[in-house]
A and B are shown apart, each in its own frame.
Chain A
């Protein structure tokens, strides 16, 4: 045990060095240590033990501390306090140090602190259930006695500190003891009753609770509250409650009431992304105070949110800012995202190719693994750029460059399904149907037929090769593997095949069926909308 010659006890206006007492404790002599302290500072047995326990805790001697605390009858001490504590001071005004109310509060904080430290020692010893019992005593006692909250006193606010700590500790102890429903109750109790917690303490508890709600996998029954104002938002499940708490902390940060904690934003990002609500997440980023994140990081995060929410134009505007040569032009994520956004619009193809090329150049060292991804983006952008080329020569040059990039990409990313699909499309557009078929088959095999677009592509390429019966076989198989609402495009395909095979009566039958399907879908509340039916899946 470390003995620090500088420690001292202070009580009743006098101080005493701890060295002598520490020596006695090291010999296992609690009784002698207690006596020495009582004599030295004129203390009661209880007060002396409380000080000894604190000393042992400070020294890191957890088992010793527990032995000392076990020797105090803390329950009885609480009992004695209760009648006197419930007396309210007769008049307001500055209270003297010797006035009855502050003396009894002083005694109360001593006892409660001792119990609190006992709970902490039990926690450190891994005895979580016992720790819970001790901590609960503190919380229950304060609640019974100070039902209106702890009165403000001049002088040190020890009691409030202890109560705040106990209220913060209790749910954590329940958690460590594996009693999750009780932990949830304790968190709510801490946040919804009047404990006079300071803002930072409250925010910490809110964050701990939000994290518990998000990751514990224990679904809390919704909180029930009486006397709600109409229009009050009451969360109905874990995610709602967690998001609410995290948003509250963020707004307190914005008002300067609590210290900024980046993990709060990370939890909220996770929660909102899981719900698919990145547009709301974008708003949260926008409402943060400037300086919390570097502006370029904020732009890039915002761009990710907006792109995820389908607002690609806005995302691109932000990325253009952050990729400017005076900002952070070499950020790989930003470059790849910008290239991806551009790759969906022929008029942005050239711009996207620029970003992609920069990404290819920067994909080195620890980022080397992204080179294939960058080459893919380059190929896509060049392919799109080719569509608005002003001359045939330019078009064919861009198309072959595009193919070259994609081929280089697939050498690095052999199992990137989207890339294989895109190669098939490019070759098909290039009228190189044999290679297109090879890639279409590869895509189909590697995705196990789970992508509708894979089936359609295979069928289309086969029909372009005039292998109509095989195309029909594929289409029929696809119909077996898809659910009703996705079958529209497949029926269209089948009908066209019939026409190509010069069997118009069969085609008419299929169109009739397709019409019925469309009517049925209009009437029902099917999950797919009409437009998504005919888009690529």
Chain B
């Protein structure tokens, strides 16, 4: 695990109630995992909960067989902690969403009972529903013929034309769900991802890398053939040794098995998160960028296999943008041999 944990810069008001809840969350966690506590002067119960080591342990437990069952202790802890309504604790739980959703979706076809995971996902869904009061999220697409704060327009504004507007629905309205009906599964997981995206600037690198890895699996397509996508110097197929080829084929088979249906309600939030991982301000973390690039290629391959224009267009753009990351820095003074005032 990398050490790049973003410390939350938000100020936390610790009411006595909040501290108690954090403390009790930590205590109940110790019955499930084994934290080796390295106590320094700045160690708080919250910082322990957010430690890399704890993340790794919980992640491993989430991946173990039967981890999503209804009586699973870890799921119980995740659920209870999220329901505590302490914002910091909720962020802590939210970090595990990629793994929870990833393991959950890939086990659906195996018909394993996953009431534990579903409870956590429903809690996230309910939280988002409450925050939005169930309302849809809309976007009004600007019309260039109307002036805006950033530009003037030559055409005279006809006040009667004010309703000539394009309103796009970014996320439809939310109905409450008490259980995960299979036809609503994608929407519920998608909304959980919308919540994840809204807090993504407060997420550390590890959950983002896990997210990218799961994208690869959900896509169910190998994306290697797009490594040199639209490159001018066409790299011919590299000479691969037999062992490498066999490894790759094995991996391909594994990847194909993990394929999940990706309707728009799941795909759209996934693409937004991927866009952040690829092009957001992540301090140029190379591990994340590589994981995100791979995920991008796989999802693009998936879009091509589905011949889905609504997915081909954004994924193609992400792929192209990821290849042109290092741009010319216009704020750099030009090189010159004449030093003058």
Measuring CB to CB, which residues of chain A are less than 8 angstroms from any residue of chain B? 4, 6-11, 18, 47, 50-51, 54-55, 57-58, 106, 110, 117, 120, 165, 168-169, 172, 175-176, 178, 180, 191-192, 201, 204, 206, 211-212, 214-219, 223, 225, 228-237, 239-240, 243-245, 247-248, 251, 262-263, 266-267, 269-270, 272-278, 280-281, 301, 303-305, 307-308, 333, 336-337, 340, 365-367, 369-370, 372-373, 377, 413-418, 445-452, 480-483, 486, 527, 537
Q: List 7 A-B contacts (CB under 8 A).
A: A8-B338, A215-B278, A240-B140, A263-B321, A274-B268, A448-B109, A450-B185
Beta-carbon contact of B149 and A216 below 8 Å: no
Beta-carbon contact of A168 and B331 below 8 Å: yes
List 20 extra interface pairs beyond A244-B150, A270-B321, A275-B168, CB under 8 A. A51-B341, A165-B330, A178-B281, A204-B330, A223-B149, A232-B146, A245-B150, A247-B144, A248-B144, A248-B151, A263-B320, A269-B317, A274-B271, A278-B309, A369-B305, A417-B261, A446-B109, A448-B108, A450-B185, A480-B181
Beta-carbon contact of A120 and B333 below 8 Å: yes
User: Once bound together, how far apart are the Cα atoms of A529 and B166, in whole Å?
Assistant: 20
Beta-carbon contact of B279 and A215 below 8 Å: yes
* B138 CB → nearest A CB, Å: 9
User: Once bound together, how far apart are the Cα atoms of A426 and B279, in whole Å?
Assistant: 44
* B227 CB → nearest A CB, Å: 10
Please, which residue of chain A has its CB at the minimum distance from the CB of B234? A366
Q: Per-residue CB proximity of B281-310 to A under 8 Å, as 1/0?
A: 101000000000000000001001111011
User: Once bound together, how far apart are the Cα atoms of A219 and B195, in whole Å?
Assistant: 13
Most buried by A among B111, B148, B283: B148
User: Once bound together, how far apart are the Cα atoms of A416 and B198, in whole Å?
Assistant: 32
Q: Per-residue CB proximity of B162-204 to A under 8 Å, as 1/0?
A: 1000101110110100000111111000000000011111000
Q: Does B157 contact A (CB under 8 A)?
A: yes
* B338 CB → nearest A CB, Å: 6
Beta-carbon contact of B149 and A228 below 8 Å: yes
* B201 CB → nearest A CB, Å: 5
Please, which residue of chain B has its CB at the minimum distance from the CB of A369? B225
Chain A residues positioned under 8 Å from B181 (CB to CB) = 480-483
Task: Say which residue of B184, B257, B313 sits within 8 Å of A273 (CB atoms).
Answer: B313
* B44 CB → nearest A CB, Å: 21
Please, which residue of chain B has its CB at the minimum distance from the CB of A275? B168
Interface of chain B residues 315 through 341 with chain A (CB within 8 A): 316-318, 320-321, 324, 330-333, 335-341
Beta-carbon contact of A230 and B159 below 8 Å: yes
* A33 CB → nearest B CB, Å: 12
User: Once bound together, how far apart are the Cα atoms of A372 and B173, in whole Å?
Assistant: 37
Beta-carbon contact of B149 and A232 below 8 Å: yes
Task: Say which residue of A204, A278, A418, A450 sits within 8 Å of B186 (CB atoms).
Answer: A450
* B292 CB → nearest A CB, Å: 11
Task: Say which residue of A219, A235, A305, A369 sits within 8 Å of B309 (CB atoms).
Answer: A305
Q: Does B237 contact A (CB under 8 A)?
A: yes
Q: Does B314 contact A (CB under 8 A)?
A: yes
Task: Say which residue of B140, B222, B341 sits within 8 Å of A236 (CB atoms).
Answer: B140
Chain A residues positioned under 8 Å from B257 (CB to CB) = 415
A9-B340 contact, Cβ under 8 Å, with A305-B313, A452-B183: yes
Please, which residue of chain B has its CB at the minimum distance from the CB of A43? B341
Task: Say which residue of A106, A172, A272, A446 sits within 8 Å of B331 (CB atoms).
Answer: A172
Beta-carbon contact of A448 and B182 below 8 Å: yes
Beta-carbon contact of B314 and A240 below 8 Å: no
Q: Does B87 contact A (CB under 8 A)?
A: no
Q: Does B143 contact A (CB under 8 A)?
A: yes
Please, which residue of chain A has its CB at the minimum distance from the CB of B319? A266
Beta-carbon contact of A415 and B331 below 8 Å: no
Beta-carbon contact of B146 and A217 below 8 Å: no
Beta-carbon contact of A55 and B339 below 8 Å: yes
Task: Say which residue of B139, B146, B272, B317 sits within 8 Å of A267 (CB atoms).
Answer: B317
Please, which residue of chain A has its CB at the minimum distance from the CB of B170? A275
Beta-carbon contact of A308 and B271 below 8 Å: no
User: Once bound together, how far apart are the Cα atoms of A410 and B17, in whole Å?
Assistant: 58
B interface majority secondary structure: mixed
* A242 CB → nearest B CB, Å: 10
Chain B residues positioned under 8 Å from A214 (CB to CB) = 275, 279
User: Once bound together, how far apart are the Cα atoms of A414 and B222, in whole Å?
Assistant: 14
A216-B276 contact, Cβ under 8 Å, with A168-B330, A248-B151, A446-B109: yes
Chain A residues positioned under 8 Å from B98 (CB to CB) = none
Measuring CB to CB, which residues of chain B are less than 8 angstroms from any residue of chain A? 9, 108-109, 111, 139-144, 146-151, 157, 159, 162, 166, 168-170, 172-173, 175, 181-186, 197-201, 220-222, 225, 237, 256-257, 259, 261, 264, 268, 271-272, 275-276, 278-281, 283, 301, 304-307, 309-310, 312-314, 316-318, 320-321, 324, 330-333, 335-341
Chain A residues positioned under 8 Å from B221 (CB to CB) = 369
Task: Say which residue of A9, A251, A415, A447 sits within 8 Å of B339 (CB atoms).
Answer: A9
User: Once bound together, how far apart are the Cα atoms of A413 and B141, in whole Å?
Assistant: 39
Most buried by A among B159, B264, B280, B283: B280
* A10 CB → nearest B CB, Å: 4
Beta-carbon contact of A58 and B339 below 8 Å: yes
User: Once bound together, how far apart are the Cα atoms of A304 and B143, in whole Å?
Assistant: 22
User: Once bound together, how far apart are the Cα atoms of A217 and B183, in whole Å?
Assistant: 29
Please, which residue of chain B has its CB at the minimum distance from the CB of A10? B340
Please, which residue of chain B has its CB at the minimum distance from the CB of A252? B151
Beta-carbon contact of B146 and A233 below 8 Å: yes
Task: Say which residue of A6, A191, A239, A449 sits within 8 Å of B139 (CB atoms).
Answer: A239
Task: Say which residue of A233, A277, A305, A340 sits within 8 Å of B147 (CB atoms).
Answer: A233
Please, which residue of chain A has its CB at the minimum distance from the CB of B142? A244
Beta-carbon contact of B170 and A340 below 8 Å: no
Chain A residues positioned under 8 Å from B109 (CB to CB) = 445-448
A270-B339 contact, Cβ under 8 Å, with A216-B280, A305-B309, A417-B261: no
* A492 CB → nearest B CB, Å: 17
Beta-carbon contact of A217 and B333 below 8 Å: no
- 10 closest residue pairs by CB, A with B: A448-B108, A308-B309, A217-B200, A449-B182, A273-B314, A233-B148, A275-B168, A266-B317, A215-B280, A10-B340
User: Once bound together, how far apart are the Cα atoms of A247 and B148, in whole Å?
Assistant: 11
Chain B residues positioned under 8 Å from A281 (CB to CB) = 313
Task: Say which residue of B148, B159, B339 sits within 8 Å of A8 (CB atoms).
Answer: B339
Chain A residues positioned under 8 Å from B200 (CB to CB) = 217
Please, which residue of chain A has its CB at the minimum distance from the CB of B175? A483
* A347 CB → nearest B CB, Å: 20
Chain B residues positioned under 8 Å from A10 (CB to CB) = 338-340
Chain B residues positioned under 8 Å from A304 (CB to CB) = 309, 312-313
User: Once bound together, how far apart are the Cα atoms of A336 and B309, in whole Å?
Assistant: 11
Beta-carbon contact of B307 and A340 below 8 Å: yes
Beta-carbon contact of B220 and A233 below 8 Å: no
* B326 CB → nearest A CB, Å: 12
Beta-carbon contact of B183 and A486 below 8 Å: yes
Beta-carbon contact of B173 and A527 below 8 Å: yes
A266-B281 contact, Cβ under 8 Å, with A218-B201, A308-B309, A308-B310: no
Beta-carbon contact of A416 and B305 below 8 Å: yes
Beta-carbon contact of B280 and A217 below 8 Å: yes
* B118 CB → nearest A CB, Å: 12
A280-B141 contact, Cβ under 8 Å, with A10-B339, A18-B339: yes
Beta-carbon contact of A481 and B183 below 8 Å: yes
Chain A residues positioned under 8 Å from B259 (CB to CB) = 415, 417
Most buried by B among A51, A110, A231, A451: A231
